[in-house]
Amino acid sequence: MTIPELAFFSQTGDPVILEIAARRGADFVVVDVQHGPYSRVNLRSQMQAIEAGGSRGFVRLSAVSGENVGAALDSGAHGLIAPLINSADDARDLVRFAKFPPVGVRSFGLSRQSDLTTLSIREVNDRLELFAMIETAQGLANVEEIAAVDGISGLYLGPTDLSIALGGTRYGDPSIVDAFDDAAARILTAARVGGKKAAFHGRTSTMIGPRLEQGFTTGVLASDLTLLATAIETNLEEMRTLEVGR
């Protein structure tokens, strides 16, 4: 039996939340730069908080560029999740910006990740994890070619954007359930054929569980904002039903 990777996704980027998630056993913790607050100084502290909790820090980029990739890696990220990967060329750009020569063009500079006294350039390249998000119709159409790109570690199904791309209004929209399931199966098959991981994120274990049972290798609980909102709403509703002073 293969034990899946279980990770946590943060949109607040709060270092306390990041460290708590790391200490609670997340295999890695993702800081969302695409839709969350971001600064290079904060990102460094966020990666430090995750490491203090005993886990690995990943970053979801806002977009693939040399500047964005370099900033995330220099801050100490152990892995990157790249949104809107629509083609094999997009995936190759991610690898090119993220890897040191001769594989890529990443520049070496003094940073949190600049200590090469114990790791060679090759080892740094090999240890870095790169996930390509499949979340558009174009990305889905090219998923087999994306999965075949050397240096890509895994495919990451973006459930909400892919649902919208398939004609739905949200993840779980009844009108696209079959189309979404077919897309998920195609992404999983492409990952397996390409020797890659297959990641899926969701708001609850109930949402993620069926994909792990299907064969996805990585489940990401997303996000801290969603969990907080749900907990507040649920507990307030429960308190409103109490027979207090009646």
Confidence of residue 117 (pLDDT cuts 50, 70, 90): low
Nearest CA to 199 out of 219, 184, 183 is that of: 219
Most confident region among 85-94, 121-130, 197-206 by mean pLDDT: 85-94
Confidence of residue 28 (pLDDT cuts 50, 70, 90): very high
Domains and CATH numbers, the chain: 5-240 (3.20.20.60)
Mean pLDDT over each residue of the chain, to the nearest integer = 93
* Integer angstrom CA distances of residue 193 from 105, 128, 187, 189: 28, 21, 10, 6
Residue 80 is classified by DSSP as E
Share of the chain above pLDDT 90, in %: 82
Nearest CA to 189 out of 144, 122, 140 is that of: 144
Which tens digit of pLDDT belongs to each residue from 97-114?
A: 999 999 999 988 766 655
| pLDDT > 80? residue 243 | no
Catalytic residues: 35
pTM of the complete model beyond 0.75:
yes
